[in-house]
Chains A and B, each alone.
Chain A
Amino acid sequence: MLISLAFFALAALLAPVLARVLGPRVFWLLALVPLGALAVSVSAAPRVFEGEIVRESLIWVQHLELALSFRLDTLSWVMTIVVLGVGALVLVYCERYFAPDEPGLGRFAGFFIAFSGTMYGLVVSDDIFLLFMFWEATTVFSYLLIAHYTDRKASRGAALQALLVTTGGGLTMFVGLIVLAAAAESTSLSEIVASPPEGGAVMTAVFLILVGAVSKSALVPFHFWLPAAMAAPTPVSAYLHAAAMVKAGIYLIAALTPGFANIPGWSESLVALGVVTMLVGGWRSLRQTDIKLLLAYGTVSQLGFLTVIAGFGSRTAALAALALLLAHALFKATLFLVVGLIDHSTGTRDLRRLSGLGRQRPVLAIVATLAVASMVGLPPTFGFVAKEAVFTALLEGDALGILALLGVVTGSVFTVAYSARFLWGAFARKEGVEDTEVHRDRWDALVSPALLAAGGIGLGLVASVADPVLAGYAVAFPAGGHEYHLALWHGLEPALGLSALTLLLGTALFWKRERVARLQAMVPATVNAADGYWKVLRFIDRTAARVTSTTQRGSLPFYLGVILLVLVATAGTSLVLNETWPTSWRLWDFPSQAAVGLIMVIAAVAAVRADKRFTAVVLVGVTGYGLATLFVLQGAPDLAFTQLLVETVTLVAFVLVLRRLPRRIGVAHGRPRHRAVRAALAVVVALTMSIVAVTALAARSTEPIYPEFAELARTLGHGVNVVNVALVDVRAWDTMGELSVIIVAANGVASLVFLDRRTDDLVRPRLTRGRRGLLRQRPITEPSRPIGRSRALAETGEKRLAWLLAGRTLAPENRSILLEITVRLVFHSIMVVSLFVLFSGHNAPGGGFAAGLVAGMALVARYLAGGRYELGAAVTIDAGRLLGSGLVLAVGSAAVPLLFGADALTSAFIEGELPLFGHVEFITSTIFDVGVYLIVIGLVLDVLRSLGGEVDRQQEEEDPRTPHERLEGRADA
């Protein structure tokens, strides 16, 4: 069975390719696959007939007990015959049905054969979850096949409808299967049915599973999808929606009934659903004028019929169910194929326009009549045999059986009536309607329907041979009073009378069809299940729209508010539940801490309320400097130093950005009420956080690890500065990560300012030997001209050397000669200091981070004094390269120890005597620190370059006036 499935899969994959080469003839080739699988089934027949269960299994997901386990017992054997036999014949039929230029032929062929394979898998699966997999897969292929004519809106809608309805049912069933598997502690269908678990959960599970079966087999209230699915090409209707897929639900019911027929409500609900479906389908069928739809409703009706008998749960009923299933597959597939041929040769399926077809296509008419004979239950067809068995089985039953019998007899009357209507509609010559024009198909198009119809008759003739085969399924049920056997002739039994009665009444109903039509027109269709589907969809869409517009408001304050509310609610709840409160309160170590804290709070609150951007930035800076102060008070000079530098650089960056922003922070956000709510939320969050902090800190019961750090740093890190050793050695991995953060931050600034690529060169004043004179300074008293480009540089021929190379590129009114001189004098000193801070950092306050910031400050000074050209002159290396090199150093010192078999970032300590230097100590973590240093410089450079230089440039571009004119303009205003 596994091998057969593999062939199906292969065929499905190859079909589109083959179809391109072979055209419709590909279907002949594809028909070999189900035929091959059929041969496997047939060869297994002797074993199956003897009651043996043929098994195959391959473990797939062991931990989930999910296995590709298959079994072949009588029920599935019969199903495989139906699925594969009908499948092969329909494929043969396809070759005639499709024109060589049919769009999407390859796709269709692939889906069709894939469907066939999954359907085969479904009926031979033993693992219930494997069965479910095939179950859902058939749904998907049905979706794809129904919408074969993708350019028709109705096809697409019907496909979606079938998908949603059957998947909805399928998922319900899935939950049921989960419960069932948990209760049974097994996933094997045969095991579960053999020893069914009990209990309330199992009952629920079984009914959930039934929902799946009911939706798949198009029973009321889900029946509406099946007629809509007739938008598919006829072979699909014949195979999926008559013979195979819709039988899956019946199959599942039949498979479960031996185990669960005793569950209260099982038979009752199935009989009720079945009867209602049978009547609704029959009734609707009588109203159809499209013969394909007529058959579709007929199928709905017959599926109801099948459900009644499959769920009834007695030995005779089981036998009858299997016989009816087989009969139905044969005659219904035939009829659909016939309709396909009619459609093909006349171009219509409307029975009001079809006329005289019987004369023109006698063979077709005979085939159809044979199938109809089976459908209405005329002897000697198999349909007759099956129907007899059904009636007998129900007669054997109790009150429920009688009720069911009443239902199915009425339903059968409808069946006879619509069958007659079908034959009449398709083939009769009608008064007032011209004979339909027919163009002939080739004779071989009839092969498949003819074979199927013959099968219906043939089986009827050899009913007593079929009996022992089908009985293999029925033996699962307790034997009744006497053993019933399928046969053409049982004598003058009540069942025969009932058959005759249905035929009589049905014919009468057909005879009086005009009166029936009037009657039907009078009965309003109060409940329309298809409308229900649309209503549900619209309800879902509306609910979704409403829920989403409430939650997804596109408002950041709302999102933040929700987050903070959740914080308050959950942390607040945990505080309410808390019983471990601090026993003593220590407010501060030094009172000055409180003072600094107060200043920080005031600054923070004021920053929120500030309406000028610059004010806000300065106030935020105050909180930062306050934090630095707290560090100082705690005796952490290193942290304080770094914090101060960070604050300063941040401030510079902010100021550079603020040039491009309006001075004021817009008007107050939102209405006063909103502001009040926000303020309240802020206060509540602050209180919660404070209480949480106090509580958590007071709960400490164990020694923290930090007291050991100083000792560790000295003895193992070879440094006195604990912070530095922590940064570059103990927790250097963190630092390495944060370095990449710095790099990315620099990248981000560049990304937003340059927008296209970061490698834009820093503009540099041309500094070539021959043009040295260009760099002479102009007297600052000279009236401004638009300078700032090298062309401008070339126009001036000054004599004096510049203090700063690019100073003269600035407009005179923007220059400060004093600043230029100062910067010129201190720049190199600052750089040297930064190097000192870098290398002394291990034992004294400092280190790579602080040193980098110091160097960065030097660059800031150059930029402020001389503008972007000066920056270019100061650093001739691309910021990206600087960042990259720093990262290589830092990451390299993580990687290199690995080569020596040590842990990443392990440092080595080297000391020795060097001439001139004397005793020298070197710890390799310093290399890491150099990486830090370079990266921090790179960051500052990038920020200056983009927020400074590039923004300058953009401003100049946007404002064609010279800086001088701008200044004048401002003075005028």
Chain B
Amino acid sequence: MTALVPLVVILPLLGAAGALIAGRHTRLQRLVTVAALVAVLAVSVALLIEVDRQGALVMTVGGWEPPFGISLVVDRLSALMLIISAIVLLAVLVFSVGQGMADGDDETPVSIYHPTYMVLAAGVFNAFIAGDLFNLYVGFEILLVASYVLITLGGTGARIRAGVTYIIVSLVSSVLFLAAIALIYGALGTVNIAHISLRMQDLPSDIQLILHVMLLIAFGIKAAVFPLSFWLPDSYPTAPAPVTAVFAGLLTKVGVYAIIRTETILFADSDINEALMVVSLLTMVVGILGAVAQADIKRLLSFTLVSHIGYMIFGIAMGTVAGVGATIFYIVHHITVQTTLFLAAGLVERQGGSTSINRLGGLLRSAPVIAVLFFIPALNLGGIPPFSGFIGKLALFRAGAETPDVLIWVVIAGGTLTSLLTLYALARVWNMAFWRQESEVETYQSSLLDQLSEAPGPAQQQESRNSPALMTWSTAGMVAVTVSLTIFAGPLYGVSARAGENLGNPRTYTSLVFPNVVDESQIDVSEGSGQP
């Protein structure tokens, strides 16, 4: 079963290679890439089943024993992330194939899009299985460079502008990440995550704090944590709909994933939970206020994305097994629902020719299917029961209630407010875009819309186009996934909670990579103990 571990990276890369070689043969490209992701999904399912049964799978690449070689580790957290990412990537790929077939690939030139998309997938998957801090960096680089290409796809003025913001901020974060790795290697002489964790115990706590902070800032930028989040709403919404959907769903979560690993394994002893708690509150509230101020649906959703990152940071900041478990569930929920909403927004854009609620109207009548596909995930994101968003919030708040603390209650209050404002923003979209009649749009006056700001740049009203069945179906598939997260919340939460338990003690993780090692000094680095 260990052989399955590297496949999640190898398969998409082979898909990318296939797409490059297939070149002009569009259908072949589509076939290859979809097949690769289907295969990854199958592998991820197998991995999750296996890992949930026995705890974890570790592969030492090239047979080079840790800490020399690179360890690839799939524990429950990784397996969950893999599976949900594979689903999202696959759905979005099918969506974009549908869009491409309809539009003759104007927006997403296949010869660029498909290989790049597959590399992005490989980067995301790699980040989730990296057992080596430098390899994690490589995973980030893969997905970031791919995202640079995807965000500027088509090269319109707006996309280049947004791309510049995105690329430069991401580069800064990469530099900081690299610098942090260098510092950690400087202080500890290793980059293997388990090895770092073991050696970290011997480092003075003040030095730990310095390293900790450096690493968190790098990850905080990627995860879009306030106040490192301002770049996100200015860059994501301009990309083509499927690209935005996959970015919104996955990329920030890779950052959150890294933060979880940082807090639970690398710096398990270094405690900055109170600071994180405050940050989570600000992320939630400032983020959702941004969403309330937007007229453009895609921009609005970008702000809700930032805002709900706050919930995840909150769970991490609790520093408890229950908190981390709840966070993991929330991540799974949020990846799917945010992607789904962006896909639905893509459908709205085609149907209504715009994503601004100042210009949309009558969609309930003209596109009832899209209405349903928007409404269900919107409720879900707003935390309306019985959907997974509610279960996630319930889990987070209950985990918070375990440790009575004023700060936690303040954050819970903030989280509740955020939930209400999320619902407000989304219900307003529903009122305007779906319920309001198209004939009312021209002369519409309401104080609900007074304070809203449009997306920067010239307003573009495109013609209304029908959505190809494939786009609608893939969105419907994602909606079905979000709903099934609710139905199967029991087993899913079970895995999340067990994943959280895995992270409760960093020694659980280190013993995967270094079985039978309790103390760092037992790892022999003085004699070549490399290949068997």
CB within 8 A of B63: which of A537, A692, A751, A902?
A: A902
Q: Does A218 contact B (CB under 8 A)?
A: no
Among B60, B72, B214, B231: residue with most chain A CB under 10 A:
B214
Cβ–Cβ contact A755 & B155, under 8 A: yes
CB within 8 A of A551: which of B168, B172, B286?
A: B286
Cβ–Cβ contact A747 & B451, under 8 A: no
A545 to B454, CA, bound (A): 11
A736 to B72, CA, bound (A): 14
Interface residues of B in 154-193 (CB under 8 A from A): 154-155, 160, 164-165, 168-169, 172-173, 176, 179, 182-190
Cβ–Cβ contact B59 & A903, under 8 A: yes
Contacts A61-B493, A541-B452, A903-B62 known; 8 new A-B pairs at CB < 8 A: A164-B427, A538-B447, A544-B289, A545-B452, A547-B293, A558-B230, A756-B106, A903-B2
Q: Does A744 contact B (CB under 8 A)?
A: yes
Nearest Cβ distance between residue A775 and chain B, in whole angstroms? 28
Residues of the A chain whose Cβ atoms lie less than 8 Å from the Cβ of B110? 757
Q: Does A153 contact B (CB under 8 A)?
A: yes
Residues of the A chain whose Cβ atoms lie less than 8 Å from the Cβ of B446? 153, 157
Nearest Cβ distance between residue A55 and chain B, in whole angstroms? 20
Residues of the A chain whose Cβ atoms lie less than 8 Å from the Cβ of B149? 744-745, 747-748, 751
Nearest Cβ distance between residue A211 and chain B, in whole angstroms? 11
Residues of the A chain whose Cβ atoms lie less than 8 Å from the Cβ of B141? 737-738, 741
Nearest Cβ distance between residue A559 and chain B, in whole angstroms? 5
Cβ–Cβ contact A702 & B199, under 8 A: yes
A228 to B185, CA, bound (A): 65
A10 to B12, CA, bound (A): 41
Q: Does A528 contact B (CB under 8 A)?
A: no
Cβ–Cβ contact B412 & A545, under 8 A: no
Q: Does B462 contact A (CB under 8 A)?
A: no
A64 to B402, CA, bound (A): 12
Cβ–Cβ contact A888 & B14, under 8 A: yes
Surface stretch bound by A, among B88-96, B432-440, B472-480? B432-440
A592 to B16, CA, bound (A): 45
Residues of the B chain whose Cβ atoms lie less than 8 Å from the Cβ of A575? 210
Residues of the A chain whose Cβ atoms lie less than 8 Å from the Cβ of B437? 150-151
Cβ–Cβ contact A563 & B221, under 8 A: yes
Residues of the A chain whose Cβ atoms lie less than 8 Å from the Cβ of B128? none
CB within 8 A of B145: which of A164, A748, A759?
A: A748
A171-B420, A541-B450 known; A556-B183 Cβ under 8 A: no
CB within 8 A of B112: which of A542, A709, A747?
A: A747
A755 to B153, CA, bound (A): 8
Cβ–Cβ contact B172 & A163, under 8 A: no
Residues of the B chain whose Cβ atoms lie less than 8 Å from the Cβ of A755? 109, 154-155
Residues of the A chain whose Cβ atoms lie less than 8 Å from the Cβ of B187? 696-697, 699-700
A64-B391, A179-B401, A743-B16 known; A578-B112 Cβ under 8 A: no
Cβ–Cβ contact B112 & A750, under 8 A: yes
Residues of the A chain whose Cβ atoms lie less than 8 Å from the Cβ of B10? 891, 894-895, 904
Q: Select from chain A the residue with minimum beta-carbon distance to B164.
A: A556
Cβ–Cβ contact A904 & B142, under 8 A: no
A60 to B454, CA, bound (A): 43
20 interchain pairs, CB-CB under 8 A: A61-B391, A66-B489, A150-B435, A156-B435, A160-B448, A175-B397, A538-B447, A560-B169, A695-B210, A700-B186, A730-B62, A737-B139, A741-B145, A744-B145, A745-B149, A751-B112, A755-B154, A887-B20, A891-B13, A904-B5
Number of interface residues of B (CB under 8 A): 155
Residues of the B chain whose Cβ atoms lie less than 8 Å from the Cβ of A62? 490, 493-494
Nearest Cβ distance between residue A924 and chain B, in whole angstroms? 11
**Main SS of chain A's interface residues?**
helix
Residues of the A chain whose Cβ atoms lie less than 8 Å from the Cβ of B385? 132-134, 136-137
Residues of the B chain whose Cβ atoms lie less than 8 Å from the Cβ of A744? 115-116, 119, 142, 145-146, 148-149
Task: Return the CB mask of B485-510 against A: 1 if under 8 Å, else 0.
Answer: 00001100110110000000000000
Cβ–Cβ contact B447 & A689, under 8 A: no
CB within 8 A of B416: which of A132, A171, A715, A736?
A: A171
Q: Select from chain A the residue with minimum beta-carbon distance to B61.
A: A733
Q: Does B398 contact A (CB under 8 A)?
A: yes
Q: Select from chain B the residue with minimum beta-carbon distance to A183.
A: B401
Residues of the B chain whose Cβ atoms lie less than 8 Å from the Cβ of A182? 398, 401-402, 404
Q: Does B431 contact A (CB under 8 A)?
A: yes
A543 to B401, CA, bound (A): 30
A179 to B64, CA, bound (A): 51
Q: Does B123 contact A (CB under 8 A)?
A: yes
Cβ–Cβ contact A751 & B152, under 8 A: yes
Nearest Cβ distance between residue A118 and chain B, in whole angstroms? 10
Cβ–Cβ contact A696 & B423, under 8 A: no
Interface residues of A in 710-763 (CB under 8 A from B): 711-712, 715-716, 729-734, 736-738, 740-741, 743-745, 747-748, 750-752, 754-759
Task: Return the CB mask of B63-107 against A: 1 if under 8 Å, else 0.
Answer: 110011110100000000000000000000000000000000110
A694 to B48, CA, bound (A): 43
Cβ–Cβ contact B21 & A888, under 8 A: yes
Number of interface residues of A (CB under 8 A): 135
Cβ–Cβ contact B109 & A756, under 8 A: yes
Q: Select from chain A the residue with minimum beta-carbon distance to B25.
A: A759
Interface residues of A in 672-717 (CB under 8 A from B): 689, 692-693, 695-697, 699-706, 708-709, 711-712, 715-716
Q: Does A554 contact B (CB under 8 A)?
A: yes
Surface stretch bound by B, among A241-249, A474-482, A565-573? A565-573
Task: Return the CB mask of B393-424 against A: 1 if under 8 Å, else 0.
Answer: 01101101110100000001100100111011
Residues of the A chain whose Cβ atoms lie less than 8 Å from the Cβ of B435? 147, 150, 156
A566 to B219, CA, bound (A): 13
A64-B398, A175-B416, A697-B183 known; A548-B453 Cβ under 8 A: yes
CB within 8 A of B489: which of A60, A534, A905?
A: A60
Residues of the A chain whose Cβ atoms lie less than 8 Å from the Cβ of B165? 556, 559
Q: Does A181 contact B (CB under 8 A)?
A: yes
Residues of the A chain whose Cβ atoms lie less than 8 Å from the Cβ of B23? 759, 878, 880-881
Residues of the B chain whose Cβ atoms lie less than 8 Å from the Cβ of A891? 10, 13-14, 17
Nearest Cβ distance between residue A225 and chain B, in whole angstroms? 14
A182-B398, A744-B119, A748-B148 known; A544-B292 Cβ under 8 A: yes
Q: Select from chain A the residue with minimum beta-carbon distance to B221.
A: A563
CB within 8 A of B451: which of A545, A732, A892?
A: A545
Q: Does A239 contact B (CB under 8 A)?
A: no
A696-B183, A747-B116 known; A740-B122 Cβ under 8 A: yes
Residues of the A chain whose Cβ atoms lie less than 8 Å from the Cβ of B427? 143, 160, 163-164
Q: Select from chain B the residue with minimum beta-carbon distance to A752.
A: B155
CB within 8 A of B290: which of A551, A573, A905?
A: A551
Nearest Cβ distance between residue A61 and chain B, in whole angstroms? 5
A160-B427, A571-B210 known; A172-B416 Cβ under 8 A: yes
Cβ–Cβ contact B152 & A748, under 8 A: yes
Interface residues of A in 759-778 (CB under 8 A from B): 759
A186 to B497, CA, bound (A): 19
Cβ–Cβ contact A571 & B204, under 8 A: no
Task: Return the CB mask of B188-211 against A: 1 if under 8 Å, else 0.
Answer: 111000010001001110110111
Q: Does B314 contact A (CB under 8 A)?
A: no
CB within 8 A of A168: which of B168, B220, B420, B431?
A: B420
A74 to B338, CA, bound (A): 43
Cβ–Cβ contact A885 & B21, under 8 A: yes
Cβ–Cβ contact A702 & B189, under 8 A: yes
Residues of the B chain whose Cβ atoms lie less than 8 Å from the Cβ of A563? 169, 172-173, 217, 221, 228
Nearest Cβ distance between residue A724 and chain B, in whole angstroms? 14
Task: Return the CB mask of B1-45 against A: 1 if under 8 Å, else 0.
Answer: 011011101100110111111011000000000000000000000
Task: Return the CB mask of A567-598 against B: 1 if under 8 Å, else 0.
Answer: 10011011101111000000000000000000
Q: Does B273 contact A (CB under 8 A)?
A: no
Q: Does B441 contact A (CB under 8 A)?
A: no
A467 to B209, CA, bound (A): 69
Cβ–Cβ contact A140 & B213, under 8 A: no
Cβ–Cβ contact A696 & B210, under 8 A: yes
